Structure 1
Amino acid sequence: MLRRKMGNIGFESSVLLFGGAKLGSVTQDEADRSIAFALEHGVNHIDTAASYGDSEVRLGKWMPEIRKDVFLATKTAHRGWKEAKEEIYRSLTRLRTDTIDLLQLHAVGTIEELDKCMSAGGALEAALEAKEEGLVRHIGITGHGHSAPAVHLEALRRFAFETVLTPFNYYLYGLPEYRQSFDALVEETKRREVPLRVIKAVAKGPWAVGQTRNHATWYEPFDDQRTIDACVHYALSHEGIHGFASAGDIQLFPKIAAAVEKFGTMDDAEARALLAAIPEYGSPFGAPTSIA
Structure 2
Amino acid sequence: MQDMREKIERAAFGRTGHLSSRVIFGGTAVWGEDRDAADRILEMLLRYGVNHIDTSVTYGNSEKHIGRWMKEHRDQFFLATKIDARTHAEARLELERSLRDLNAGHVDLLQMHELVRESEVDLFFSAAGAVKVLDEARARNLTRYTGVTSHGFEAPRILRRCIEEYDFDSVLLPFNYHLSTHPQYRPDFDALVEACATRGIAIQTIKAIARGPWGDLPRTSSVWYRPLERPEDIDKTVRFVLSFPDLFLCSAGDGTLLAHTLEAAARFQSLGGPEATEMEKLSRDRRLTVPDQKGWPRLWDKPT
Q: TM-score, normalised by structure 2?
A: 0.91
Give, as a single letter, the amino acid of the residue that structure 2 aligns with 1:228.
I
Give, as a single letter, the amino acid of the residue that structure 2 aligns with 1:217.
V
2:152 aligned residue (136, 140, 145): 145
Give the distance between the partners of 1:161 and 1:268, measured in 2 at CA. Answer: 34
Task: Compare 231-240 and 276-285 and name the one that shifted more.
Answer: 276-285
Task: Compare 109-118 and 175-184 and name the one that shifted more.
Answer: 109-118
Question: Secondary structure at 2:204's aligned position in 1?
Answer: strand
1:35 match: 42
Question: Secondary structure at 1:146's aligned position in 2?
Answer: coil
1:2 match: 9
Give the distance between the partners of 2:140 and 2:292, measured in 1 at CA. Answer: 37
Give the distance between the partners of 2:34 and 2:134, measured in 1 at CA. Answer: 30
Give, as a single letter, the amino acid of the residue that structure 1 aligns with 2:241.
A
Q: Does 1:191 align with 2:198?
A: yes
Work out the number of aligned pairs and report it. Answer: 287
1:203 match: 210
Summarize deviations over 1:246-281 as a string: whole Å, max 9, x none.
000010000110110101425333542333323521
Summarize deviations over 1:10-35 as a string: whole Å, max 9, x none.
00000011100111111011100011
Q: Does 1:246 align with 2:251?
A: yes
2:284 match: 277
Q: Does 1:222 align with 2:208?
A: no
| TM-superposed deviation, 1:121 | 1.5
Task: Compare 275-284 and 71-80 and name the one that shifted more.
Answer: 275-284
Question: Secondary structure at 1:165's aligned position in 2?
Answer: strand
Summarize deviations over 1:69-109 as a string: whole Å, max 9, x none.
11000001100001101110110000001010001000112
1:108 aligned residue (112, 115, 131): 115
Give, as a single letter, the amino acid of the residue that structure 1 aligns with 2:235.
D
1:87 match: 94
| TM-superposed deviation, 1:39 | 1.2
Task: Compare 167-176 and 245-254 and name the one that shifted more.
Answer: 167-176
What is the aligned-residue identity percentage?
Answer: 37
Question: Secondary structure at 2:220's aligned position in 1?
Answer: coil
Structure 1, unmatched stretches of 5+, are none
Q: TM-score, normalised by structure 1?
A: 0.95
> Runs ≥4 in structure 1, deviation > 6 angstroms?
none
Structure 2 contact 178–289 (Cα < 8 Å) conserved: yes
